[in-house]
Amino acid sequence: MSELVRHSAVVILPLIVSNSIHMVVVKRNLFPLAASPLWSRGFGKNKTWRGLLFVPVSNALVLTLIAPLIPSGVEMPAILGFALGLAYMVFELPNSFVKRRLGLAPGENQGKYKVAFSIVDKMDSAVGVVLAYLLLGHATWQIALWLLLIASMAHVGVSALLVTLKIKSAF
C-alpha cells in the first residue's frame, strides 16, 4: 500500500463514513436535543451542537474500527479520529460566519460570490483536517498537499452522491 493510499485511508475514508452517517442523523432528526444551533446569528441554524459532537465521536469510532486493517497501524486511532473530526467541523465555521455577514442564508450560495463559496464550501473542512494531520506530525507537506486535493475531490463526489440519494438536500 503506497503511503498516500495509507494516509488517505486514515484521514479521508473515516470522514466520508462519519459525515455520511451524520447526514442520515440530520435527515432523520436523530438526537434532536443536540440539534440546537451553535450560534444562529453568527453561523446560521445549520451549524449545530449535534454536528460538532457527532462528527468527532463517530469519526473516532470509525477510525478505531478500521485501524487494524491499515498497514503500519495507526497510533491512538480514537484520539486521532476525534481530532480530525473536530478539525473538520471547526474549519466549516469561518465560512459560515462570512456568509452570514454577507447576508447569505444558511445553505445558500448565490449572487456574485457563488463560485468562490462553492469552492470554499468543498475545501474549508479539508484544509482543517489536513492541517491538523500535518501539525500532529503524521504527514509531510507533500503528502498533505496530495491529501488536500484528494479530500476536496472526495468532498465534491460524496456531496453529489448524497444529494442524488436524497440524503443531503443541497450540493
pLDDT at 107: 67
pLDDT at 171: 61
Average pLDDT, the chain: 91
pLDDT at 110: 66
15-20 mean pLDDT? 94
> Could you tell me the three cell numbers for 148?
488536500
By three-state DSSP, how is residue 28 classified? coil
How far is residue 56 from each of residues 87, 97, 126, 136, 170, measured CA to CA in Å? Answer: 8, 21, 14, 16, 22
pLDDT at 142: 96
**Among 17, 37, 36, 35, residue whose Cα is nearest residue 27:** 35
CA atoms 64, 65, 70, 72: torsion sign: positive
143-164 mean pLDDT? 89
Looking up cell 440519494, which residue turns up? 165
* C-alpha neighbours within 13 Å on the C-beta side of residue 86: 10
Task: Compute the C-alpha angle 53/59/61, nearest 5°.
Answer: 105
pLDDT tens per residue across span 90-129: 999 999 999 899 888 776 666 677 777 778 888 999 999 9
pLDDT at 150: 94
**Among 77, 82, 76, residue whose Cα is nearest residue 56:** 82
63-91 mean pLDDT? 95
